[in-house]
Amino acid sequence: MSKKPKIYDSSNSLNNSLDKLLASYRKLGVDRVIYKLLSPNDNSKNQPYLAGHFTDIGFIPTDELVATASASKKTSDPKRKIKFTANLNFHWLSPEGQVYPAPTAKLIYYPQFPEVRLSGFLKGSPIDMGGWMDPAKLGRSEGRVLFFGIRSDGAIFAYLAVPESRIAKEVHKQKYYSLSSVLRELPFTKQLAFEEQAELAVQEMLATYNVEDDARQVLINELRRIHLEGPITSKKLDGKGIEKAYIAKNGGGYTLEAELGVIPNGIAEPDFHGWEIKQFGVKKFALINSKALTLMTPEPDGGIYKEQGVKTFIRAYGYRNQKIADRFDFTGRHFSNTLCDKSGLTLITPGFDADSRSMVDATGFIGLLDKNDNVAASWSYAKLLDHWKKKHARAAYIPSVAHDLSNGNRAYHYGNSVRLYEGTDINRLLGAVTDKHVYYDPGIKMEQASTKEKVKKRSQFRIKSKDLDTLYYKLDTVDVTNNVDV
């Protein structure tokens, strides 16, 4: 007989309330509370389904993704037997608030299907699930609810509410908003001193954010309010949500996040009820289509750049700055299968099939190839996927015009025409690279090259604003002043 504690079969588990669970999450410093209503196939054998693509769950913190071979028999095509895994900092939480590690928990992404599943969440953990995740016992029961308390340092605290428990019944009465096709988020306030304050804050949030289908409309309403305010003096929220003046010239994003109440954290990109918030500066609102936007800035993880170092790389493929003595630069826009005159390198995407618009080799990469067929620098698909998963399935792009103030500060006016995108995945990114919409546009330099060799790295992939729709499956351009698609 197992001596492991049966934490979800106790009377405390059956009688535990949702308020007490949220209080336990507050004590742990949790920032967000997400849950899934489990289906009969969500168990230790079948692995709980969380999403179709990693971009659907960019808010779940993971370690770096690793490309591995899949032994799945669901497809006979060997090129499609690929998968990526990412370890989790995962723990189980008892009704009493005790934490138990789950050291082998991970997410597995099968791009050929596509699907992301939770795996390894019981192996090595010192608890007995009472058969509630065992398909041969109670692991196919309807009515189970799996909670994830996510903390900004990447820790995840899971709690299983069994079918007849108080929490499993109470959660159906709570307001929520959708994060993906199967994941929901509860309105949650962090680290409040008294229970009555917590209750008051939660009720206030529920009154504002009514039901799951309103997340898009709530965002539009907030962007309308922000636009009508006119220029807003630059500011930023600190870790406790307190507004602070922000003096630097790059305050457009921070100011918008402050207006939306988005506190910067280390989990993912700025998030407003499941929408990634992307602000970009323009000189005039009418010029939004010509703006070049930086999508991501990953460092190469292969090629001469990685193996011999950036100094060797820049001396081999960079050029001497003609205006600044003793300085090398590596710049130039690099497009797929096109020689870049500045560097002599060609951007390639082995492992991606342009005809089927899909990844066919998990060990593939985006690379820079020199005239001798040496890979000068490369970004593995695993690394790119790790960066791309931070892109939400829903993204709002908002233009802003900066106004310089007499006191040296800045104010930002946010446009009324915003673009709301939904649905993206790694194949959309790689397809956009192949079609020359996304390009590599580095800004790397080495100063005092003959002495100290001071290097500044900046590897960036960019896209013009007008081409953003190539990255997503759906686009709505909305005038927030009248909420009519234009």
To 10 degrees, the CA torsion angle through 444, 447, 453, 459? -10
Mean pLDDT of 146-158: 96
- pLDDT tens digit sequence for 245-293: 999 999 999 999 999 988 765 555 667 877 889 999 999 988 788 789 9
The confidence band for 10, taking pLDDT boundaries of 50, 70 and 90, is confident
Give the domains, in start order, of the chain with CATH numbers: 11-208 (2.40.330), 292-485 (3.30.70.3570)
Q: What is the pLDDT, as a whole number, of residue 193?
A: 45
Q: In this predicted model, which residue has the larger pLDDT, 194 or 300? A: 300
Looking up tokens 């995740």, which residue turns up?
Answer: 133
Q: In this predicted model, which residue has the larger pLDDT, 457 or 287? A: 457
Question: What b/e readout covers 336-349, taking b as 16+ CB neighbours within 10 angstroms?
Answer: beeebeebbbbbbb
Strands (E), 240-357: 243-245, 271-272, 275-281, 292-296, 319-320, 327-330, 339-340, 345-348, 352-353
The chain-wide mean pLDDT, for the chain, equals 89
Q: What is the pTM of this model?
A: 0.84
Share of the chain above pLDDT 70, in %: 89
Nearest to 376 by CA among 339, 401, 412: 339
R_g of the chain, CA atoms, integer Å: 24
Cβ partners under 8 Å of residue 59, min gap 6: 32, 34, 150, 179, 267, 268, 271, 274, 392
**What HEC string does 173-195 produce?**
HCCCEECCCCCEEECCCCCCCCH
